[in-house]
Structure 1
Amino acid sequence: MAKASRESGTPPVERAARASLHPVPDGRAPASAEAWALIDSARQSYIDALPIAAAVLTEQDGDLVVGASNRRYDSLDAARPASQPMPIIESPTIVRRLLEFFARPGDELRFEWRYGDQVSGRHFHACISPLAQVPGGNGRCLLTLVDRTTEIESTRSLRAELLHDSLTGLPNRTAFAEAVDEVMASNDGARHAVLLIDLSRFSRINESLGGVAGDEVIITVARRLISTLRAGDILARVGGDEFGILLRLANGPDDAPAAARRIQSVLSTPFRLARFEVGIECAIGVALVGEEQTSGEELVRNAQFSLKRAKSTGRVEIHHPGEAACARYKLDLETELRRAIDQGDLRLAYQPIVDLAANRLTGFEALARWTHATRGVIDPGEFIPVAEEAGLIVPLGRWAVDSALATLAKWDALAGSAVPLTMNVNVSAIQLARDDVPGVIAAALATHGIAGSRLTIELTESAIVQDPERTTKALQALKALDVKVAMDDFGTGYSSLSYLRRLPIDSLKIDRSFVSGMLQDRDKVAIVRAVLSLADALGKTTTAEGVETIELSQTLAALGCSHGQGYFYAAPLTADAARDYWQSQL
């Protein structure tokens, strides 16, 4: 390291005498000692006037010399911390930067410098600026130090506040994400897992006992979760009633379900709030680092997929490869479905419904179909759930009702009178809950001039039992329009027999899972026979789905089933093909 010396303590007259040995720029006789003393005094006045620590430095034969410095600079040296016993210009960072500057003079050099240790040190923005060289003298520079300690400490304190939850003192979602990113970027990423814990029924506590009680529960849960951690684990509060754990897998992947069991165990003990004992259950989703994870964000997202599944199953769920890709596919499908609805790219297909006793076509069921430009035909079982989840089922359902009635009106116009056909249209449980279905149907019937008796609305059992009061009002409004109501997929849900007696339901549709293959399965025959007996007792008609053979059609007719529907009669048809099919039956 270069040797550093200082001449700021040298008497002005002596400094002026040494300086007088240097010739003046224009070659005139050297200035007098008094003149150089005045120059030194002026230079010192300029430096003292600076509002920051400053010193003029020269480099002489590899040594760094302080030619002049102001009081702020001197006070820094005088009050240097115990962890930094050497003067400023002997600091390794300062020496290296100064020598670097003198090796390539001319350009200003700026850098950040910490004076002291991590705890008690001070932070400066340092700048080394070139000064004009005295003829015959050595290179000079001006070193300035801007104290940024308060700014940096404030920023550090603010960041600490921003990265911690104010209620529990735990790291928050942002800090948790950063910790996961750091682990994923390290070589130790595969030895970690992410656990997300969601508290069940927490909103009920808030609603019943108030926010203060809710805060008390969150704090207690945090303490209990901390008791389950081991060295190297990180606990964070990542949501209102959601916690995240970055778990170190000391003994391999089996540590993750073991940790989940510990968490469930400590949370199973009831919480005492005032005079209440409150039980807290939780859903836990786990994501292990695998080949498909490329970032911490993706790992957390995988844990969220598992948590969502855990909420419905009630079990600890561990992420499986492919779930993220499936979620992305659904998101793509949602975007494209929204565009398809807006642009009218969907169509309806019509499947015949046949009176089994008379072997006569009575109507059609309208079924939504989507042929994607690049993906090809997309099954309704794939895009209908996406539409329900994304809130697209309302515009989709409205389109289906309007299009089906428009088709029926077109057939009437071509025939010159109302054709003896009915139209069945499916209505989702979500649409029934969110939309004014009776109002939509009334408007569509009026627009196309169709009598309500020619329309049958098909509802699933879940739609009927989800909100019985709202469903009852909607069905009564539909009956006022003379619209018939059928319970679709009967036998696969969880409806109560009291609903069948109390609600204005006209028909039961027997699900294809009971009809298909029933001739080879006595249990299925028994189920179908029971449904037919129940419908007969309640005065309702029946339609069997999935009729694929003549034997099945004849057997259902013999058992007393009213109608049949399936590929034995015809596959779902286009509007024109459906009309041709009807005419062929005349």
Structure 2
Amino acid sequence: MKSLPVRIRPEQRPDHDLLARFARTHLRCLGEMDHWLDAMPQPAALFCLKDRDLTIVAVNQSFYHTFLVNYDIDAKPSHSDAWRDRIIETALAKTTSSFFELRRDGALGPEYFLCTAGLLPAEEEGAKLVLFTALDRTGDRTTEKSLRRELLSDGLTALPNRAGFGEEIDDRLRNGPWPENAKFGIIAIDLSRFSRVNESLGPLAGDELLITVAKRLKSNLRQGDVLARIGGNDFAIFARLNNGLSDCIHIVQRVKDSLKSPIRLSDLQIRVDCAIGCALSTGLDDDPDDVVRKAQAAVKIAKRSGKVEIYRNGVLKEAQRRFSIESRLRTALSQGELTLAYQPLIHLQTGEITGFEALARWHDPDLGHVSPAEFIAVAEESGLITALGRWAAYEAAQALSRWDGKFGKPLPVGVNVNLSPIQMARDDVASVFEEALRYSGVSGNRLTAELTESAIIVDPDKARKLLVALKDLHMPIAMDDFGTGYSNLASLHSLPIDILKIDRSFISTMLDDKDKQAIVRTILSLAESLNLSVTAEGIETQELAHALQTMGCGNGQGFYFARPMPEAEAFDYWRARWNFETV
């Protein structure tokens, strides 16, 4: 058998012949193999496995410089020798080829190679030839690593983002030292009024505020805890809880202390307020994503309560229901699945129906009957209140138009439509009512806008402009739930308000509470002084109706007279009580 030399040019040969330290294989019909290997741009070599001994047959220049120059055959095997083991595995396996990635430590850091090992026909009995190639993927892996780092981190604060937070948690849970019965917790932090900083000082000031907050929070973390920015102005902390809730409360206090002192932006001192919600795991086997969702549900409650909230059972279900309601409500609005119910307003002295209040009702095929208090709150939170308010205004005006058509002439009644403070802030309400009146052909004095005191307090100047615009349409204005807000007499006198609606909380228990009777008398006296009409809400008994009639209250509504009813029933109810004289 003729021996096959490995060709290495003189300028490539090292001081001592490395190849001489490998066992040489003598095979037939391979005289040109070294030329074929030299033609390949990537590292390539031919090996022979016989009697479980791997011997080298031929290599190209690239393989020599990549794998053999610093190779020490006498050293202990390491992960850098993995290519030899994989070649042997391929030779012994039933498959004809295999792919694998090789990682090794290089002078400039980790190096990665995409390797292939394939079997070639061998003439010598018992010998197996393996062609090995390696493609350098170090650059690709470095780029991937850099892109992944960018994908998992927040570009502004350099903290982990939502996806990176999840990976950091998984890594801590798998590899961190955890005492027996240890738990973990998620602390969600929402910066309050952050949008005002952006609106008043600009986005650069907002970014600076976020960076400063991130630095302060990070400086107060314990070793092993993880801080992440999981939203625009939302942060979260993953914390080990060796002592359960007490550890969590201690971390919350550190968070509050770190944000106690004001932050200087330009020439201003900004005080950072935040809402904090916490969720604790029951053990290390809990799904971290589930715990994060619970903490976010708790922080939503904290934004309303103004206190630190610890997640309790059922909160996540409530949040999921709100999400379902939002999704289904969006569909219901687009497909016309909501209806208006009409509750009559009764003139207490004559018993005549002076109008109706339009109240939204919703029965969903999946959710069943959804309370207005529930879906209106979701609509305000999600921004759907604008679409809901527009629909209510158009539908109420069209109902009046249909009633007029049935009666043959305009009915001597109107409809009250409620306005949300958020709708007033976000929508051109005056244009909405102008269109509703124009499309229906109904006069403005038959459509009353009801708004609460809180809607006026939020932005008095804007509210005043809106009310003036509505008065230009000849629409009456009613202040709903009067007595529960903080409006003062000066603002009440300066606004073009026609009707005060006394909140049901004063009316329902008025007969048993002299203080509430006094409040009702005061409101009636005030309304008389300002030449305003009064409607009492929540009348549920005949005694209440007679008492308010005796006190001089003009109008009332409540279950004593009628519950809210569909459009057709409301028209029939009006016709049945037309010219009715007594309460």
Q: Give TM-score, length-normalised by structure 1.
A: 0.84
Q: What CA distance in whole angstroms lies between the structure 2 residues aligned with 1:87 and 1:375?
A: 65
Secondary structure, counterpart of 1:268 in structure 2: coil
Quote the offset at 1:502 in angstroms: 0.5
User: In structure 2, which of residues 326, 347, 351 is the aligned counterpart of residue 334 of structure 1?
Assistant: 326
The answer for the alignment partner of 2:484 in structure 1 is: 492
Aligned match of 2:45 = 55
- Report how far residue 232 of structure 1 moved: 1.4
**For 2:56, what is the secondary structure of its paired residue?**
strand
Which residues of 2 match residues 146-545 of structure 1 at below 5 A?
A: 146-182=135-171, 191-200=183-192, 217-271=209-263, 277-290=269-282, 295-545=287-537
1:115 CA drift (Å)? 3.3
SS of the equivalent of 2:274 reads strand
Asked if 1 retains the 8 angstrom alpha-carbon contact of 2:341 and 2:358, the reply is yes
| Matched residue type, 2:59 | S
- Cα distance, 1:436 vs structure 2: 3.1
Structure 1 pair 118/317, CA: closer, same or farther in 2 (3 Å)? farther
Q: Distance in 1 between matches of 2:141 and 2:60?
A: 24
Q: Distance in 2 between matches of 1:494 and 1:312?
A: 19
- 1:548 pairs with one of 540, 551, 559: 540
1:566 offset after TM fit, Å? Answer: 1.0
Name which one, 1 or 2, has greater alpha-carbon Rg: 1
How far 1:457 sits from its partner (Å)?
1.9
Of 290-299 and 253-262, more deviation after overlay is shown by 290-299
- SS of equivalent to 2:258: helix
Residues 186 and 413 of structure 1: CA distance in aligned 2, closer, same or farther (over 3 Å): farther
The CA deviation at 1:269 is 2.7
CA shift for structure 1 position 469: 2.1
Structure 2 residue aligned with 1:124: 113
Counterpart of 1:108 (choices 87, 94, 97) is 97
Q: 2:122 — aligned with what?
A: 133
Contact 1:7–1:66 (CA under 8 A) maintained in structure 2: no
Would you say the 8 A contact 1:397–1:427 is kept in 2?
A: yes
Q: Is the 8 Å Cα contact of residues 105 and 130 (structure 1) preserved in structure 2?
A: no
Task: Tell me which of 32, 35, 39 is aligned to 1:45.
Answer: 35
Tell whether the 8 Å contact from 2:182 to 2:242 is kept in structure 1 after alignment.
no
Identify if the C-alpha distance between structure 1 residues 164 and 429 changes in structure 2 by more than 3 Å, giving closer, same or farther.
closer
| 1:73 aligned to which of 40, 60, 63 | 63
Q: Assess if the C-alpha contact under 8 Å between 1:192 and 1:247 holds in 2.
A: yes
Q: Describe the shift of the 1:54–1:235 C-alpha distance in structure 2 as closer, same or farther (beyond 3 A).
A: same
Measure how far apart 1:507 and its partner are: 0.8
Gaps of 5+ in 2: 7-16
- Determine helix, strand or coil for the equivalent of 2:259: helix
**Distance across 1 between alignment mates of 2:241 and 2:280:** 10
Conservation of the 8 A alpha-carbon contact between 1:293 and 1:299: no
Match of 1:28 in 2: none
Could you tell me how far 1:464 is from its partner in structure 2? 2.4
Q: Distance in 2 between matches of 1:280 and 1:370?
A: 40
* Equivalent AA in structure 1 for residue 539 of structure 2: V
Is 534-543 or 474-483 further displaced after alignment? 474-483
Shift of 1:163: 3.3
Deviation of 1:185 (Å): 7.5
1:561: how far off?
0.9
Q: Describe the shift of the 1:557–1:82 C-alpha distance in structure 2 as closer, same or farther (beyond 3 A).
A: farther
Cα displacement (A) at 1:519: 0.8
Cα distance in structure 2, aligned partners of 1:107 and 1:487: 84
Structure 1 residue matching 2:127: 3-state secondary structure: coil
Residues 395-447 of structure 1: CA distance to partner in whole angstroms, max 9, x if unpaired? 33333333333333333333333333232222222333333333333333344
Separation in 2 of the partners of 1:445 and 1:43?
91
| Aligned residue pairs, count | 559
Give the superposition deviation at 1:63.
1.3
Q: CA deviation at 1:376?
A: 3.4
How many Å apart are 1:241 and its aligned residue? 4.3
Matched AA of 1:126? C
Q: 1:153 to 1:428 in 2, by over 3 A?
A: closer
- Give distance in 2, aligned partners of 1:146 and 1:371: 63
Whether 1:564 and 2:556 are equivalent positions in the alignment is: yes
C-alpha separation in 1, matches of 2:288 and 2:230: 14
How far off is 1:501 after superposition?
0.2
CA offsets 1:249-270 (integer angstroms, 9 cap, x no match): 1221221121010111122134
8 Å CA contact retained: 2:182, 2:284: no
Q: CA deviation at 1:494?
A: 2.5
Q: Is the 8 A contact 2:173 2:284 kept in 1?
A: no
User: Could you tell me how far 1:119 is from its partner in structure 2?
Assistant: 8.6
Contact 2:278–2:311 under 8 Å retained in 1: yes
CA distance in 2, matches of 1:84, 1:287: 56
Aligned match of 2:13: none
Q: Which of 561, 566, 576 in structure 1 is aligned with 2:568?
A: 576
Distance (Å, rounded) in 2 between the aligned partners of 1:459 and 1:397 = 12
Give the counterpart letter for 1:577 in structure 2: E
- What CA distance in whole angstroms lies between the structure 1 residues aligned with 2:268 and 2:117? 69
After superposition, the Cα gap between the structure-2 partners of 1:415 and 1:534, relative to the gap in structure 1 and judged at 3 Å, is: same
Question: Shift in Å at residue 512 of structure 1?
Answer: 0.9
Q: Within the alignment, does 1:145 sit opposite 2:137 as a pair? A: no
Q: How far apart, CA to CA, are the structure 2 residues paired with 1:395 and 1:284?
A: 31
The letter of the residue matching 2:163 is T
Q: Does structure 2 conserve the Cα–Cα contact (< 8 Å) formed by 1:292 and 1:321? A: no
Q: Is the contact made by 1:112 and 1:124 (CA closer than 8 Å) also made in structure 2?
A: yes
TM-score, with length taken from structure 2: 0.85
**CA 1:557–1:291: 2 relative to 1, 3 Å:** farther
